[in-house]
Amino acid sequence: MAAHGEGQQGASLLILPLHRECLAHFTGYWPAGFRPRWHRRPGWHMATMSLSLLGGVTASTILMRAPRWYLLVLLGWILTAHAARKAQLVLCHYAVHGTLTKSPWSNRVIAELLSTLLLIQPFDSYYHDHITRHHGRYLATLEDPDVQLLLRLGFRPGMSRHALWRHLYWTLMSPRFHLLMSSMRLRANFFGTPMYRRLMASGSLVAGGAVLFLTQGWLTCVLAWLIPLFPLYHIAALLQFVSEHRWLYVLEPPTQPGGERTAERPLADTPKLRLGRLTFGRFVGEPLPSSALPLRPWLWAWGRWTIRLFLLHLPSRLCVLVGDLCQHDFHHRHPLGDWSNAAYARQCDLAAGCPGWPEPYGEIWGLGTAINEVFKALASLPPLPTSWPSPQDRVKGAYPRGMRQALSQRPRISSRRKER
């Protein structure tokens, strides 16, 4: 399903030059006035994921046997982690949405096979958590499983921005965090799942163990498979979670024309306004250094820009903001939209004026800036009681006493603000 206006505009637009199209796919931001030279299909994403997984594991296996090239194993890890994240956040994600293929049976089979191989969330529980809870009126509330995970990890409303950043650094390196994520993946595959799924997961582990026993490739397995698929995968997942939405930012104080505050009004009463302000585009990259700089500052600026490109923006795009996650705001507005070409589809929707939506898309450049925006929203909220969640707090839609009133005291936000 194309975004509004794409069909009408596409035929009259110029084809984006190849080098600029590559740049657009890297940053996630499609320039106005151009169309892609060809439309990607779901099969393209399946093929690139498979090649990335095979290439990453092969590269890691070869490079770890060459003493002079040990450091390049990092590139294999990044490629493998990219493939695993793309398998979940693109292929399995759109399988549960029913848009990966036209067949519900094929969607389930692909998702179950990929999630068994990578030991990630099965189809049924992913559907429940993502479609039933994350989408719709539960988005970014205490009923959202993503919010519940962040609270469990210690990212709580009312903490200062600096405290949230310190906690993020600590959590990324914490063995407890990685053990928790690993145990959640194991439980998702072996407890509360259909019998066929438990047999699939057991068979996968037994087959893998048998191959390792026969080949004695334990070290290769650890370095080429387990490291990118567990600690690196978990780090990428957490960085994605803490930059995805303005979590718990669900109320706003309505104002009269003169600016006087009236009674508290939940944003849930205006679902499109609420949804638009909870989500934003996350793009990677930064402007080139100015050519007007003197030589020494110019060299320093280009060196800094190059380092940030390869050590920050490239890993962010490959492992954190994979696939169409840069255009996650488009996905929430159009869950059945053209996700295979989301950057172009989002730009078409923006050029058409975002019909049916009260506000246009917001955009933030840089993963760090997106995380800071989420932390700023969390810091503006009142703290949860230290005893939360208690049994009564688990009632559907329940908020701790005083939180709903306190939420209405903070300033309004606008998706029109752009941060670079």
268-286: average pLDDT: 85
pTM: predicted TM-score of the whole model, two decimal places: 0.87
Q: For residue 43, which of 118, 102, 112 has the smallest C-alpha distance? A: 102
pLDDT at 406 (0 to 100): 46
Last residue of some domain: 188, 221, 242? Answer: 242
Instruction: Give the count of alpha carbons within 13 A of 82, CB side only.
Output: 26
Cβ neighbours of 313 (radius 10 Å): 21
59-75: average pLDDT: 86
pLDDT-based confidence at 7, cuts 50/70/90?
Answer: low
pLDDT in tens, 230-242: 999 999 999 999 9
Rg of the chain over CA atoms, in angstroms? Answer: 22
Pair 9, 58 in one domain: no
Q: For residue 161, which of 372, 382, 370 has the smallest C-alpha distance? A: 372
Please give the C-alpha separations between residue 308 and each of 238, 266, 295, 369, in angstroms, as whole numbers.
Answer: 20, 40, 20, 14
Residue 302 forms part of a structural domain = no
Residue 290 forms part of a structural domain = no
77-96: average pLDDT: 97
pLDDT at 399 (0 to 100): 47
Which range, of 12-16, 267-271, 331-335, averages the lowest pLDDT?
267-271
Q: Judging by beta carbons within 10 Å of its beta carbon (0-12, 13-18, 19+), is residue 410 exposed, middle or buried?
A: middle
Which range, of 82-91, 328-337, 378-387, averages the lowest pLDDT?
378-387
pLDDT-based confidence at 257, cuts 50/70/90?
Answer: very low
Last residue of some domain: 183, 215, 242? Answer: 242
> Residue 216: helix, strand or coil by DSSP?
coil
Q: Report whether 45 contacts 67 (CB < 8 A).
A: no
Pair 188, 267 in one domain: no
12: its two tokens: 């009259």
Pair 26, 125 in one domain: no
Angle, in degrees to the nearest 10, between helices 104-118 and 195-215: 40
pLDDT-based confidence at 266, cuts 50/70/90?
Answer: very low
Q: For residue 119, which of 64, 215, 200 has the smallest C-alpha distance? A: 200
pLDDT-based confidence at 163, cuts 50/70/90?
Answer: very high
What is the domain extent for residue 135? 39-242
Q: Report whether 204 contacts 118 (CB < 8 A).
A: no
Last residue of some domain: 242, 273, 308? Answer: 242
**Averaged pLDDT of the chain:** 86
Pair 169, 262 in one domain: no
Which range, of 103-117, 162-176, 204-218, averages the lowest pLDDT?
204-218
Residue 28 forms part of a structural domain = yes
Residue 145 forms part of a structural domain = yes
Pair 272, 336 in one domain: yes
Residue 88 forms part of a structural domain = yes
pLDDT-based confidence at 138, cuts 50/70/90?
Answer: confident
Q: Report whether 316 contacts 348 (CB < 8 A).
A: no
Contacts of 388 (CB under 8 A, 6+ apart): 400
Residue 297 forms part of a structural domain = no
pLDDT-based confidence at 272, cuts 50/70/90?
Answer: confident
How many domains are contained in the chain?
Answer: 2
Residue 293 forms part of a structural domain = no
pLDDT in tens, 358-401: 889 999 999 999 999 999 999 999 887 765 554 444 444 444 44
Amino acid identity for residue 204 in this structure: S
Element (H, E) at 371: helix 367-379
Pair 253, 399 in one domain: yes
Q: Judging by beta carbons within 10 Å of its beta carbon (0-12, 13-18, 19+), is residue 38 exposed, middle or buried?
A: exposed
pLDDT in tens, 189-220: 999 899 999 999 999 999 999 998 998 889 89
Q: What whole-number distance in Å separates Cα of residue 39 and Cα of residue 156?
A: 42
Pair 394, 378 in one domain: yes
pLDDT at 396 (0 to 100): 42
pLDDT at 130 (0 to 100): 93
pLDDT-based confidence at 249, cuts 50/70/90?
Answer: confident
- DSSP string of 38-69? S---HHHHHHHHHHHHHHHHHHHHHHTT-GGG
Pair 28, 131 in one domain: no
Give the residues across from 363 on adjacent strands.
281, 418
- DSSP string of 117-144? HHT---HHHHHIIIIIIISGGGTTSTTS
Number of helices (H), then strands (E), belonging to the chain: the values are: 21, 7
Pair 251, 183 in one domain: no
Pair 22, 44 in one domain: no
Cβ neighbours of 185 (radius 10 Å): 19
Pair 278, 387 in one domain: yes
Q: Report whether 228 contacts 80 (CB < 8 A).
A: yes
Residue 85 forms part of a structural domain = yes
pLDDT at 11 (0 to 100): 60
Pair 270, 343 in one domain: yes
Q: Judging by beta carbons within 10 Å of its beta carbon (0-12, 13-18, 19+), is residue 196 exposed, middle or buried?
A: exposed
Please give the C-alpha separations between residue 288 and each of 17, 22, 203, 401, in angstroms, as whole numbers.
Answer: 19, 16, 51, 49
